[in-house]
Each structure stands twice: as structure tokens, then as C-alpha cells.
Structure 1
Amino acid sequence: MSATVETLDQRIIPYIKNICKRDPFTGKVVTGGIVTVKDSSWFLSWTINRQPQFRTQPKDHCLVWVYALFNDRPGDYIKKPMRDCTGKEICMEWLYYIGVPENQIEELAENSANTVPVMMPYIDAFFMPRNDTDRPKVVHDGAVNFAFIGQFAETARDTIFTTEYSMRTGMEAVYTLLDVDRGVPEVWGSIYDVRDLLNATVKLRDGEALTQMKLGLKEKIAIKKALGFIENTDVEKLLKEYGII
């Protein structure tokens, strides 16, 4: 189950900034991925992408995507399952997690946000445990005039939940059935290449190096000490080449 929270004024924004260390209205990456409340009863997560997300979105409104995996368990602030909650109640649970004082939570959820919940009963069907016979091959053995494409067809090495997966199954189907002498683009082996992982890390930070982060004194001392260990090594060269430091 998930919900979209639209902030209506600036009263919730400071709590977001306190966690992300970023201003959500700069047009840059905000959370840089999902923020998961690991000990929450709902196992709640939230994320904020670059704002605005819609052309007609007011410049001072921020859209937050909130979702949870356990919608059958009572919440930590709202003592009822997420599936039984209104949008306001889901927002209250989220505000509780981001540090809003309890005596302000209900008022902010009522007047400073508009929250729209939605049930997504099949959203995790992609990720259910399976073996290589649970889903049909793109072109099944002996098939000459039909194929299976999309997220629930089986193709090698790729990861579902991506546009690339759907496109690759379509290409595989056409090339195989029409006997087109062309190879389907291989899945890029980025999981085995630390350079790709470093590059992705920098991109998630809008191109900023690790050393440009706004850190506390303890963190700065720790990073300085860590960099001292790799000074004049290949690791240091690699981190500099890809903009980590």
C-alpha cells in the first residue's frame, strides 16, 4: 500500500531537510533513493524525487511518495493497520517518523498536507520467490507464431521492474519468431564493475564529491582518517577519477 503526500505550505519542509540535508525545491535530487524506517511496524519507506514532478504543480508544494510493506499491522503512532487508515492518518504516521512533535502531528496532517492513499495488491508480485520454470520463456520451445513479453516473461540475467526488461523481451520475441539475424543487446554487467557503482553514486549526489558533503566534525575527522589510509594507492586514483573525492 502506498500514499502520495503533497505538502501545502512550508511547515513540514524543515523536517524533510533535517533528514535529507537538502532543499527539496532546488530541482535537484532530494532523498537520492528511498528512506526506510527500519524499525517501523508498517516497515514504512518514503522518497522524494526531483521537484516539481508535474508542470502544474505549485512551486512551493512538494510531493512525497510513502509506502509500506506490512499493511496488516497496527502502526506505531496510529494504532491501526495501514489498510484501514485514511490519507490523513497515513500522513500522521509518516510525520511521526520524520520527527514532528506529537502535539503538532494531527494539525499538520490536516492543514499542511493532502494525502491520497492507494492499495496496490500486486505490486510485489514481481519479487516473489520463483524458479526458472515459474514464468514462461519469451519464445517457448516449439512456438512459431506467439511469444510472451513483458515483466512476467523469463529472460536471462536481466532484472524485472525496469523498462529495459520489457523492451528486451519484445526484441527477443521479434528477432526469434521472424528469424532476424540480430542479437538482443546484452545486459550490462554493472554489478561486477566497481567503476559503474562509483559513477552511479556520484550521479545520485548531483555530481558532488563525498568531500563536498555537509558533515559534522566527527564525520569529517573519520573521512580524513580513511582517506589517509588510501593515500597514493590505486583506490585513491579510482575515487578521484570518478569524482568520489
Structure 2
Amino acid sequence: MNNNQDKKAYFIGGGIGSLAAAVFLIRDGGLDGKNITIYESLAVLGGSLDAGGNPQQGYTLRGSRMLTLNIYECTWELFKSIPSLTDPNTSVYEETVAFNERVKSNAKARLIDKNRAIVDASKLGFSMENRAELLKLSEASEDKLGNSCISDWFSPSFFETNFWFMWRTSFAFSPWHSAVEFKRYLHRFMQEFPNVETMTGVKRTVYNQYDSMILPLIVWLKSHGVNFMKECTVTDLDTAYELDPKTGTEKVVVKNLIYENAGTSKTIGVTANDLVFFQNGSMTDASSYGSMTTAPKFYTKEDSQGWAIWEKLAKKYPEFGKPEVFNTNIAESFWESFTVTLKDTAFFDQMEKFSGNKAGTGSQVTLKDSNWFMSFSLNNQPHYKDQPANVQVFFTYGLHPDRVGNFVGKPMTACSGEEILQELCGHLKFDYDVVFANAICIPCRMPYITSMFLPRLKTDRPLPVPKNSKNLAFVSQFVEIPDDVVFTVEYSIRAAQMAVYELLELDLKIPPITKFDKSLKVELESVVKAFH
């Protein structure tokens, strides 16, 4: 371990992957935290696991994540060693387990139809043809699936089943997304299949993921002397091939790191003994917020340059993946979310009466006939650490924001926060002036939010440590990890752990992926459910 104390490590991006990797470097690799620097373009760390705003102007949340305790192996292994901010003698993992013992999910209104009727979602709605199609895809090899779409494997009737409505909105799939990713989800979450309508296996953090996961990581890293360079944008990496004396082959070595801060460009020299971790690509790149009176602006990667470094590296080194597979089709990777801040309990009260679920126990509610295909969830309150007792917050999203609303005559992307709430009230048949009289709704457009789901080949994503890399690793949703599923916190943390252990040549075991899909009990329960 002492051999690593003098190593320096540099991180490009301050998301969960970088923060987790920094912990692994210190905890498992013996690096001195003072030799670790994390560069982040924004003024806040956390990447896609962000949360902002306040009760006066309204809270913001680009995304909200569902977790499970029986998988997410690397995530919970990490958070077993990170103290809770409320009790230093309790880990974040222990805090999360205790919270979910108190607040348990058991959705009673998973799907609502156009008549505002709660659908009996226990009936998945499969035909024999659908069951055969599902089995065929789940057993196909990834090589056979290739870069095909989900819609290539199913008849149109499959996309009208209750199962599709629920599975899709649980994980944000669309028919044009990758069949490989869909198959991986079917296997990774097979133990949740029998409870897809109640979502009893879903677990939540005490607050939003920024307050419950990111802040404890930041506090831990700061206590170990890690340097955080916020509002600093890394613009380029100077790389070259060098002979690796261990293998006798040429490998890519990062020589310099160039970043900008307050209009000034600076260069940091990097030795072959140092380490560089790069969060290539971003699902929340080029995001934009609206307000109660304005719709979000339309931004693309040219407005943020969030993909620029990966594009430069990929042109030089084919083993570093193909970013163009993921960032050139916004029409198939974007959707819109919105966060609603309430100054009274009217909406929560009416939803509890209608659904039979108290906030925090109902998981998602999907308006299955909504043109925008809206879903929302009422989390346990408070959802923010600083949230006043008289304020409530909930998160909602639409997977078809380009379509004209059922009640508001324009696409979701053109709507203000007020118009979005009017659309929601139309579906629920609530009186706007009663439930949203004191509401603040902040919509957020995200051009690349499901870009990691776009059809791709295995070689389109780099390995966490490419075989031709000496000191550069990738930690993001856009790396290749066999059998695991993107669009999860687990994917970023597993990539981080793999990258750290490989670069440092640590003889430590990474928690294996739990194979629930190989359990006879789970397989039988899934078959029974499929025929219900």
C-alpha cells in the first residue's frame, strides 16, 4: 500500500463514479487524499445525482432513483464504509436499511387509465405470442441481439401490455432502445418481476440521492484531504503511446491535463505513475431548466461541450469507444422531468385518498394513456435535508415530451411549469386552484437522459481500463461491464471499483453480480406471473 502514497490521481467530472473511485483509492489503494484532485465544470458536485433549489424559488431534481438492497452490490459495499451525516456511528447503508424498514413500498395505484380508474396491474396482459417473444429475447445471446432495438423482437401488442407500461416507466425504456440493455434488465431484475405492480422490492434513500449519498461521500473525502476544483472545466488531455516495460507493448499514457477556470487556461503535468479517471459522456449534459412561466431552452452538446474530450480521444484511439453512437440522436434519447414544490398538503392529501398510499409507500404512478406518458412518485417527506415542515416536494417525468398534451394543446417541451401542472390535473381530475394554488413547478429538459440505452455494439463503449491504456480509466454509464445494467448508481460505482483495482493492480475481490436469474425459485415465480 505504501507504494501508492506518492501517486497522484486526477478526476475529470465530479459525479458518483469519480467520488466512489476516490474513496476506493484511499480506502483500498492507500493513496493520500491530498494527492487526489477532482475537476468539476459545475459549481456543485454529484453529476447527475444532483438536487438544488430552495422552498422560496422551488426545488429542482433532474432525476430520482429506485434502489434495491438485494443487488447493487458495489454500491452497498461502498456505503457500508461511509458514515451517515446524521449519526457518525451509523453507515449510510445502515441508515438506508433502517429507513426502508420504517417506510415500505407497496403500490396500490401503479397504473391509472384515461378514465382516472386504477388499473388491475397484477394482470400483465401478455398473449401467448408475447410470452414466446419475451422468452426468445431473454435467451438470445448479446452477439445475436447486436445493435437491434426492442421493437425488433416484439409484435405491436406487447407495447400495449400492463407489463410494458410498468417495466418501461420503472426503468425509462422506449421501443427504439437497445434490445441488449432490455435483456440485461430482465435478468438483473428478474427477482422484481413477480412484484412489478406493487414494487415491494423498491428501496429509497432517506432524502434525495444528493443529500443521502453524494453529501456523505463529499464529507468523507474532504476529511481525507481530497481537493475539489469546482467550476473548472477540463478541455483536453495530452496523450501519447509509450512502451510499457511490464508488458513490452505500447500503451496510451496521459502526459498533461488542460483545464479552464475563470477564463484562464492551465496545464497540469501528469506522469506515467499518476492516474487519470475520466467520466466520458453524460446523461444530463446540456440540461436546461424552465420555470412556472417559461419552458426550458433547447440545448445540444455544442452548448456545453460535455462530450468533446471523449470525441477527441476516440478519434485517436478506437479502443476508447464511439461517442457518436450515443450523442447524435437526441430525438431518441431525451425526455423531460419536473419538480413540484408545494406550500400546502392539498395535492398529497388527495393523492393519498385516491391511491390508498401514503407518501413514500406508493412508488410510481403512471398515467398510461397520457400523450406525454407521465409518471410521478410521492416520496416520503421531507425529501430535502433543509426542507421546511410546511413544504412538500415531488418529482415527475414524461417519456414523450415531444407530443401534444391531452389537455394542454402543445408539446410538453413547449410548456411552462404552470401548463404542465394543468395537464397533470386534467388526468387526475383534480381542481388546479385547490391542489396547485401555491405550487412551484420547475421543468427540466434533458437531451441525453437515456442515451446510454441507444442501440449499440459491445465495442462502442470502452472498458473501464482499456487494454491499451497505462494510466487512464473511464468511470461512467458509457463503459462496458458484462451483465450489469446502465442507468443505475451501481453501474458507475462498479466501473469505479473495477478501474481502481485494475490500475493499482490490487488483489482484492469486487462484489460479484448476484445471479437471481439463476434461482429456480425466482424463475418459477416469474413464469407463474407471466401467465397471470
TM-score by length of 1: 0.69
Q: Specify the alignment match of 1:15 in structure 2.
A: 350
Of 446, 468, 475, which residue of structure 2 is paired with 1:120?
Answer: 446
Letter in 1 for 2:466: H
Output the CA distance in 1 between the equivalents of 2:392 and 2:355.
14
Q: Specify the alignment match of 1:182 in structure 2.
A: 508
Output the CA distance in 2 between the equivalents of 1:175 and 1:52.
38
Query: Which range is displaced more, 117-126 or 180-189?
Result: 180-189
Q: Specify the alignment match of 1:210 in structure 2.
A: none
Deviation at 1:94, TM superposition (A): 1.1
Cα deviations by residue, 1:114-145 (Å, 9 ceiling, x for unpaired): 21111111111122222211111112223222
Provide the secondary structure at the position in 2 that maps to 1:166: helix
Asked if residue 83 in structure 1 is aligned to residue 413 in structure 2, the reply is: yes
Q: Specify the alignment match of 1:150 in structure 2.
A: 476
Letter in 2 for 1:169: A
Runs of 4+ off more than 6 Å: 194-197
Q: Specify the alignment match of 2:149 in structure 1.
A: none
C-alpha change, 1:68 and 1:152, in structure 2 (3 Å) is same
Deviation at 1:107, TM superposition (A): 2.3
Cα deviations by residue, 1:152-210 (Å, 9 ceiling, x for unpaired): 1111111122222222112212222232222322112234448789xxxxxxxxxxxxx
Contact 2:346-2:435 within 8 A present in 1 as well: no
Provide the secondary structure at the position in 1 that maps to 2:395: strand
Query: Which range is displaced more, 73-82 or 123-132?
Result: 123-132
Output the CA distance in 2 between the equivalents of 1:31 and 1:50.
10
Q: Specify the alignment match of 2:378 in structure 1.
A: 48
Q: Gaps spanning 5+ residues in structure 1: where?
A: 198-237, 239-245
Provide the secondary structure at the position in 2 that maps to 1:188: coil
Q: Specify the alignment match of 1:211 in structure 2.
A: none
C-alpha change, 1:112 and 1:196, in structure 2 (3 Å) is farther
Q: Which has the higher contact order (CA 8 A, sep 6+)?
A: 2
Mapping 1:21-36, distance limit 5 Å: 21-24=356-359, 29-32=360-363, 34-36=364-366
Q: Specify the alignment match of 1:72 in structure 2.
A: 402
C-alpha change, 1:191 and 1:93, in structure 2 (3 Å) is farther
C-alpha change, 1:196 and 1:49, in structure 2 (3 Å) is farther
Output the CA distance in 2 between the equivalents of 1:65 and 1:8.
15
Q: Specify the alignment match of 1:5 in structure 2.
A: 340
Provide the secondary structure at the position in 2 that maps to 1:138: coil
Letter in 2 for 1:15: Q
CA RMSD of aligned residues (A): 2.4
Deviation at 1:49, TM superposition (A): 1.5
TM-score by length of 2: 0.33
Output the CA distance in 1 between the equivalents of 2:464 and 2:479.
6
**Identical pairs, percent:** 34
Letter in 1 for 2:454: M
Output the CA distance in 2 between the equivalents of 1:114 and 1:194.
49
C-alpha change, 1:169 and 1:55, in structure 2 (3 Å) is closer
Cα deviations by residue, 1:192-245 (Å, 9 ceiling, x for unpaired): 448789xxxxxxxxxxxxxxxxxxxxxxxxxxxxxxxxxxxxxxxx9xxxxxxx
Output the CA distance in 2 between the equivalents of 1:10 and 1:138.
46
Asked if residue 137 in structure 1 is aligned to residue 463 in structure 2, the reply is: yes
Q: Specify the alignment match of 2:92 in structure 1.
A: none
Which structure: greater strand fraction? Answer: 2
When the two structures are aligned, how many residues end up with a matched partner? Answer: 189
Output the CA distance in 2 between the equivalents of 1:143 and 1:160.
23
Provide the secondary structure at the position in 1 that maps to 2:339: strand
Q: Specify the alignment match of 2:40 in structure 1.
A: none
